[in-house]
Amino acid sequence: AKERGRNAIELFSEQINARFHRRQQLEMRLQNALAKNEFFLEYQPQVDLQTGRMLGVEALLRWRNDDLGLVMPDDFISLAEETGLIRPIGEWVLRTACQEYLSWWQPEGAELRLAVNISGQQIKHPDFVPIIDDILHSTGFDPRLLELEITETVAMEDVEGNIGTFRDLKARRLQLAIDDFGTGYSSLSYLRHFPIDRLKIDRKFIRDAAKCSDSASLVEAIMSMARSLHLDIIAEGVETEEQVAYLWKQGCRQIQGFFFGRPMSASDLQKYLQEQTVAELL
């Protein structure tokens, strides 16, 4: 038949065209998203098992577009990185997170940490530290409460350069965390040169630790590495009581995950803070 005449190469190139077209559509809308005010932030609680109190939040970016609906970061961050759009978007995230924090923060309350994800494109740009200075200055945000999360992979891409930037940030008293830790297999010898505060164990190891002895060994190795380097440790993606019990047994006291709270709007977070203490959830 005629329609069977379309060969594999034609079909393949149609698929590539479709994908290319979709990417172009996404990119076009992403270009305008900041100006059209389509981004917003959600905040996920981080809790301290020892005290039963919330110790901070991680800001997570969301994009709502009229045509695309709600788009999650896994579907647009890499495109934002490839196009360079991540720099203005990342600056918006930092500034907005600081502003929103100050508008819901209770001055008499605990000093909550605000963690923000930073992309490699941002950290390696010479304007990064000046932008941080500008945001801290213009919002009046206390730098000691701001934590930047940099993935292990990004941190290891340019060890020398990052150590310099990290030192500049530590001189401003910011906190630094290595995100998705355990996925990049960094050696202890590199890690000890980074002026960092905290390792964030990747959620895939947390997910598997209770069931898979390889993941458990890795979590335990990270714990002892952190101890010997005097680094804090936080576990992400904690979903079950079993995982909480396991982490407690391993000496991990800082927890983030659906078990204690999903990412939520700033106003829901305000309610969460007012209405319930984490101790009641435990």
Chain positions contacting ligand C2E, by CB under 6 A? 44, 60-61, 72-74, 77, 90, 93, 117, 119, 179-180, 203, 236-239, 257-258, 263
CB of residue 77 to ligand C2E, shortest distance in Å: 5
**52 φψ region: left (φ > 0), alpha (ψ -120 to 50), beta (else):** left
**DSSP H stretches of helix in the chain:** 8-33, 77-83, 86-104, 120-123, 128-139, 152-157, 159-171, 188-191, 203-209, 213-228, 241-250, 266-275, 278-281
Task: Check: CB of residue 210 under 8 Å from CB of residue 242.
Answer: yes
Cα separation, 28 vs 125, whole angstroms: 24
Q: 29 vs 203, which CB is nearer to Ca ion? A: 203
Binding flag, residue 180, Ca ion (CB under 5 A): yes
Single-letter amino acid code for the residue at 133: D
Q: 61 vs 155, which CB is nearer to ligand C2E? A: 61
CB of residue 47 to ligand C2E, shortest distance in Å: 12
Cα separation, 258 vs 244, whole angstroms: 11
77 binds, among ligand C2E, Ca ion, none (CB under 5 to 8 A by kind): ligand C2E
- Out of 179, 231, 235, 272, the only residue in the binding site for Ca ion (CB under 5 A) is 179
Binding flag, residue 152, Ca ion (CB under 5 A): no
Compute and round to an integer the Cα radius of gyration of the chain.
21
- Out of 91, 100, 147, 149, the only residue in the binding site for Ca ion (CB under 5 A) is 149
**In angstroms, what CA-CA distances link 94 with 128, 196, 209, 224?**
11, 19, 33, 32
Alpha carbon 48 to chain centroid distance? 18
Q: 73 vs 84, which CB is nearer to ligand C2E? A: 73
Q: 19 vs 262, which CB is nearer to ligand C2E? A: 262
Q: 94 vs 145, which CB is nearer to ligand C2E? A: 94
Do the strands 113-117 and 232-235 form a parallel or antiparallel pair, or are they unpaired? Answer: unpaired
96 binds, among ligand C2E, Ca ion, none (CB under 5 to 8 A by kind): none
Binding flag, residue 117, Ca ion (CB under 5 A): yes
Binding pattern to Ca ion, positions 235-254, x when CB under 5 A?
Answer: -x------------------
CB of residue 128 to Ca ion, shortest distance in Å: 17
**DSSP H stretches of helix in 56-176:** 77-83, 86-104, 120-123, 128-139, 152-157, 159-171
Q: 31 vs 106, which CB is nearer to ligand C2E? A: 31
> Which region among 9-17, 22-30, 181-189, 230-238 touches Ca ion (by CB under 5 A)?
230-238
Q: 92 vs 277, which CB is nearer to Ca ion? A: 92
CB of residue 157 to ligand C2E, shortest distance in Å: 14
Cα separation, 123 vs 88, whole angstroms: 13
Binding site for Ca ion (CB under 5 A): 117, 149, 179-180, 236
